[in-house]
Amino acid sequence: MFTVEEANALVPTLQLEFGRLARLRGEVAAMVQELGGPDEAMAFLEEGSVPRRGLEAHVRQFRDLVGQINGVVERVNELGCLVKDLDMGLVDFFSMREDEPIFLCWQFGEPFVAHWHPVDEGYAGRQPLEDVETEPPQFLN
């Protein structure tokens, strides 16, 4: 369970990790095109798949990039929060609000955690935290 302060303490780390994700995803998108499109590229992630001659280096690079993306997601999840959507850069933190379980919700690019939603709702159910300052908290370096 996270407090708002504890979640906000992770925002600098999340900003770095999601910045890394954005770069990696851009590289993957380029590799997907070089490998013939999404279906063909995804087939190279299956165990035992063998690329046709001339694509070996591209496939190795593609697999490495996908592995790096998975590593970023694992690192973020290991912090105790949940990566909810890579495209939107969404992260949820388990929390409590008036004795009810909720998710504190942060989106890549936001300066701090300022939203929450019920655990059975997603991004569409986001609501502002009433007790959050309008200025981002000061983080210690």
Residue 134 confidence (pLDDT):
43
Residue 101 confidence (pLDDT):
94
Residue 141 confidence (pLDDT):
43
Residue 131 confidence (pLDDT):
59
Which residue reads 């991004």 in tokens? Answer: 123
Residue 62 Cα distances to 69, 123, 139, angstroms: 11, 30, 36
Residue 13 confidence (pLDDT):
96
φ, ψ at 31 (rounded to 5°): -65, -40
Cα 8–Cα 70–Cα 110 angle in degrees, nearest 5: 25
Residue 102 confidence (pLDDT):
95
Prediction pTM value: 0.81
Show the low-confidence residues of the chain (pLDDT under 50): 132-137, 139-141
Q: In what order do the strands lie in the sheet with 100-107?
A: 82-85, 90-97, 100-107, 115-118, 127-128
